[in-house]
């Protein structure tokens, strides 16, 4: 990942690198003092530059090994805070050029070099390794190699676009750079990114043996790799390369909708420099970096990166909750779990635990239901195998961690129990009261409800302090967000433990205070409801879907309604309408459409769309029903109003949620909607988009909608205040 400026030398609290030389082998160890990971800051790059220049002048070195002093971590890339300080093209290009120059010194050393990678080699960390003659890696699961720059709006800026294709070939380089995909040690060896993959226990010895072989002037005994004839033809001829780049461009546009300039810019760089000299290739790379780095899209994506990192720090999420449980010991690790309810959601949650190595019991009232939960988890493992992101061995190990039960005696002694039964308050309260009597007094109990009150559910418990909400978004194997919801009597320790459990499952937690719909569903419902009102007024649902996909949403609102289920959306709407009144009052259209039991969306095969063989086709029957409701109404609202009414309804509800303290910050609102609904990351989140649009403009638009369409658009007091003070939701 492109690091920041190589400014004039400045003092560093402690040396980041240590250098030793013995028997002709130099060991350059990167161990940044006081940090959990190694980052390539400007000072670090200065020090690396000095070490490499000194090495180039020595005559007692026959081989260099570059490695990390951090256990399980190689180099985590650039210091993004320094990147964010760059505001103009020229400075960005100059800083990239300075970093390229350092790695060129490594590339040009007069003796062989080995990058010994144990742990993550991300961005600039992998670019450093690419500048070495050899790369050896461990088979440890923590060893991941990636160039994720395009996911934060830039591209590899220290020679990655030049060196990676020459190491692994153009096809593999396109996949890694355009998607930011990480590869593990065995995969890195198979594709030629690594010259060897060794077990962690023998890694130091094997690396030293390899270095000694080089010092003796012998060629290391590394496995030879050959490429398939198809890849050779595709990459080795002008016609083949043209087809390869054309296919890559189509894939990028299909995946990003053209909203993200970085992958397309990286594609241009790779195409233009495929056969260029190093100097020409690096010049074009840094010129392109200069154009990308200062843009609003890059700034938004970098902010999102920092927001996600902040969400991984439990202390920042648990409202100041202590990090110790009532017994005074450190918050315990979840070593056994149980899931109550073996439906599709229960099976998917069980898969999350099994995937992370945690034994889990799935309990339901009948073995047939338990079997379906097993099938759900197994299908996810098989899907990963088909995408080469898992192996049959991992599937077998994972499924062996899942056991079934139809009674509470078989739960064992779980540290965490997640209730995932039907979304019915009475049923949930009954199940929670039953399980409380049969698990350890200190076990954490959570409900996977999407809208019901955690405080109300806790009334069925004798120890409500150990109960919280953990709202997994569907499908939980793919959706990264979990809302952690304290009830009125949930202890800070329970909240803290729930946050840590979410993190252990590889998900991002957001702590949300208890209210109907919590945060994401509370904000999503006005958006969906307003879209349904639009079709009642004459809009075409296919055109509305297209409009919001053009805005950057992963799917249009009516496609989303089909995925949720029109009947489910109606029921959630009723719950929220009772809580919030006119703001959430359901459109009469949704009530009418949900009455058709055969038109509920994907689960019945048809809703707004026909769902057949993986394809989605507008449903003519639904169109006729909508047209019959529209009758002789005037034409559809204009494009701007069609876009603004649903989005501004969300902004207004977000302002009310912030007023009520449902979440702590606008940043958490933005992160929750990006991770929970797919709100376009390049726009920075809902409230970042609102700030960029202008709070005064939004206030005026809402007031106008309130006059024409009703009091549901009445601007929230917080929004009125911000508009009058000419402030935004995000105060930098």
- Catalytic amino acids? 471
196 membership: H or E segment, kind and range:
strand 196-198
Backbone φ/ψ region at 685: left (φ over 0), alpha (ψ -120 to 50), beta: left
Q: Is 28 helix (H, G, I), strand (E, B) or coil?
A: strand
The C-alpha atoms of residue 695 and residue 621 are separated, in whole angstroms, by 41
Peptide bond into 605 cis (omega under 30): no
Contact 97/286 with Cβ under 8 angstroms? yes
Interhelix angle 89-107/42-56, rounded to 10 degrees, is 30
Residue 253 burial (10 A CB sphere; 0-12, 13-18, 19+): middle
Bridge partners (DSSP) of residue 73 are: 120
The C-alpha atoms of residue 566 and residue 625 are separated, in whole angstroms, by 14
Residue 290 burial (10 A CB sphere; 0-12, 13-18, 19+): buried
The C-alpha atoms of residue 449 and residue 318 are separated, in whole angstroms, by 19
DSSP assignment of 252-275 equals HHHHHTT--HHHHHHHHHHHHTTT
* Pairing mode, strands 73-75 and 120-122: parallel
Contact 614/671 with Cβ under 8 angstroms? no
Contact 276/75 with Cβ under 8 angstroms? no
Q: Is 452 helix (H, G, I), strand (E, B) or coil?
A: coil
Contact 448/471 with Cβ under 8 angstroms? yes
- Other C-beta atoms closer than 10 Å to the C-beta of 550 total 14
Residue 626 token pair: 């909508």
Residue 130 token pair: 């690419």
511 membership: H or E segment, kind and range:
strand 508-511
Q: Which residues lie below 8 Å from residue 499, measured CB to CB, with a gap of 6+?
A: 314, 317, 318, 484, 509, 511
CA angle 50, 51, 55 (to 5 degrees): 120
Cα–chain-centroid distance for residue 233? 35
Runs of H (alpha helix) within 108-194: 124-130, 160-168, 170-179, 185-191
Task: Specify the residue for token string 């726009």.
Answer: 683
The C-alpha atoms of residue 3 and residue 44 are separated, in whole angstroms, by 10
The C-alpha atoms of residue 265 and residue 682 are separated, in whole angstroms, by 15
Backbone angles phi, psi at 162, to 5 degrees: -85, -45
Distances (CA, A) of 408 to 59, 124, 457, 463, 648: 72, 51, 20, 18, 47
């Amino acid at each position: 990942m492109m690091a920041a400026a190589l400014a004039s030398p400045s003092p560093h609290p402690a040396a980041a690198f240590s250098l030793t030389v013995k028997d002709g082998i130099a060991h350059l160890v990167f161990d940044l003092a006081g940090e959990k990971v190694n980052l390539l800051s400007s000072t670090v790059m200065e020090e690396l530059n000095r070490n490499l220049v000194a090495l180039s002048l020595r005559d007692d070195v026959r081989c260099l090994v570059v490695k990390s002093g951090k256990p399980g971590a190689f180099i985590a890339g650039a210091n993004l805070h320094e990147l964010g300080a760059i505001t103009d093209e020229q400075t960005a290009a100059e800083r990239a050029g300075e970093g390229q120059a350092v790695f060129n010194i490594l590339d040009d050393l007069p003796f062989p070099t080995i990058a010994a990678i144990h742990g993550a080699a991300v961005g600039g960390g992998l670019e450093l390794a690419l500048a070495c003659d050899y790369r050896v890696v461990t088979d440890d699961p923590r060893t991941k190699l990636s160039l994720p720059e395009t996911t934060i709006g830039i591209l590899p800026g220290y020679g990655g676009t030049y060196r990676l294709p020459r190491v692994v070939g153009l096809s593999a380089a396109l996949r890694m750079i355009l998607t930011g995909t990480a590869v593990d040690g065995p995969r890195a060896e198979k594709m030629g990114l690594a010259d060897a993959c060794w077990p962690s226990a023998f890694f130091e010895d094997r690396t030293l043996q390899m270095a000694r072989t080089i010092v003796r002037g012998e060629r290391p005994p590394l496995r030879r790799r050959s490429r398939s004839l198809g890849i050779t033809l595709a990459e080795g001829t002008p016609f083949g390369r043209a087809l390869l780049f054309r296919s890559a461009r189509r894939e990028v546009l299909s995946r990003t909708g053209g909203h993200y300039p970085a992958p397309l810019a990286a594609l241009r760089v790779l195409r233009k420099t495929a056969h260029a000299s190093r100097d020409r290739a690096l010049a074009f790379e840094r010129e392109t970096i200069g154009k990308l780095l200062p843009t609003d899209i890059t700034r938004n994506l970098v902010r999102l990166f920092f927001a996600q990192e902040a969400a991984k720090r439990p202390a920042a999420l648990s409202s100041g909750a202590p990090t110790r449980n009532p017994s005074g010991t450190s918050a315990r690790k979840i070593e056994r779990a149980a899931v109550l309810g073996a439906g599709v959601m229960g099976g998917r949650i069980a898969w999350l635990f099994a995937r992370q190595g945690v034994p889990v019991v799935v309990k339901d009232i009948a073995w047939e239901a338990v079997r379906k939960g097993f099938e759900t988890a197994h299908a996810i493992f098989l899907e990963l195998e088909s995408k080469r992101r898992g192996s049959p061995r991992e599937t077998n190990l994972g499924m062996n961690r899942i056991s079934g039960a139809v009674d509470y005696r078989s739960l064992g002694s779980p540290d965490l129990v997640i209730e995932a039964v039907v979304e019915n308050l009475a049923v949930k309260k009954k199940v929670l009261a039953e399980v409380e009597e049969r698990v350890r007094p200190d076990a954490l109990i959570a409900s996977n409800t999407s809208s019901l009150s955690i405080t109300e559910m806790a009334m069925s418990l004798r120890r409500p302090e150990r109960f919280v909400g953990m709202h997994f978004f569907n499908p939980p194997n793919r959706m990264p967000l979990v809302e952690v919801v304290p009830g009125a009597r949930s202890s800070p320790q329970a909240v803290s433990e729930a946050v840590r459990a979410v993190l252990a499952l590889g998900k991002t937690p957001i702590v949300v205070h208890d209210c109907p719909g919590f945060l994401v569903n509370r904000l999503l419902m006005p958006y969906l409801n307003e879209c349904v009102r639009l079709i009642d007024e004459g809009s075409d649902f296919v055109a509305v879907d297209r409009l919001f996909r053009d805005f950057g949403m992963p799917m249009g609102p009516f496609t989303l309604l089909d995925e949720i289920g029109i009947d489910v959306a109606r029921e959630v709407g009723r719950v929220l309408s009772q809580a919030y009144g006119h703001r959430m009052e359901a459109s009469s259209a949704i009530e009418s459409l949900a009455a058709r039991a055969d038109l509920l969306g994907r689960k019945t095969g048809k809703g707004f769309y026909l769902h057949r063989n993986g394809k989605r086709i507008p449903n003519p029957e639904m169109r006729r029903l909508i047209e019959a409701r529209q009758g002789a109404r005037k034409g559809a609202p204009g494009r701007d109003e069609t876009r603004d009414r649903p989005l501004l309804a969300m902004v207004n509800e977000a302002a009310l949620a912030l007023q009520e303290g449902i979440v702590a910050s606008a940043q958490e609102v933005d992160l929750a909607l990006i991770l929970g609904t797919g709100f376009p990351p390049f726009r920075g989140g809902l409230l970042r988009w609102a700030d960029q649009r202008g709070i005064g403009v939004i206030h005026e638009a809402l007031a106008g909608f309130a006059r024409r369409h009703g009091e549901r658009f009445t601007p929230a007091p917080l929004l009125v205040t911000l508009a009058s003070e000419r402030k935004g939701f995000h105060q930098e």
